[in-house]
Chains A and B, each alone.
Chain A
Amino acid sequence: AQSVTQLGSHVSVSEGALVLLRCNYSSSVPPYLFWYVQYPNQGLQLLLKYTSAATLVKGINGFEAEFKKSETSFHLTKPSAHMSDAAEYFCAVSEGRTGNQFYFGTGTSLTVIP
Chain B
Amino acid sequence: KAGVTQTPRYLIKTRGQQVTLSCSPISGHRSVSWYQQTPGQGLQFLFEYFSETQRNKGNFPGRFSGRQFSNSRSEMNVSTLELGDSALYLCASSLTGTALNEKLFFGSGTQLSVL
Contacts and interface: CB of A to CB of B under 8 A. Distances in A.
B14 interface: no
B87 to A, nearest CB: 13
Contacts of B35: 102, 104
Nearest to A99: B55
Interface stretch (A12-20, A38-46, A63-71, A75-83): A38-46
B104 A99 contact: no
30 contacts: A32-B101, A43-B3, A43-B106, A43-B108, A44-B43, A44-B92, A44-B104, A44-B106, A45-B106, A46-B103, A46-B104, A51-B100, A90-B42, A96-B55, A98-B55, A99-B31, A100-B56, A100-B97, A100-B99, A100-B100, A100-B104, A101-B33, A101-B48, A101-B58, A102-B45, A104-B44, A104-B45, A106-B41, A106-B42, A107-B42
Interface residues of A, number: 27
A41 B6 CA distance: 13
Nearest to A91: B42
Interface in A1-34: 6, 9, 32
Contacts of B21: none
Given A41-B108, A46-B104, A100 B94 contact: yes
A93 B44 CA distance: 12
Nearest to A98: B55
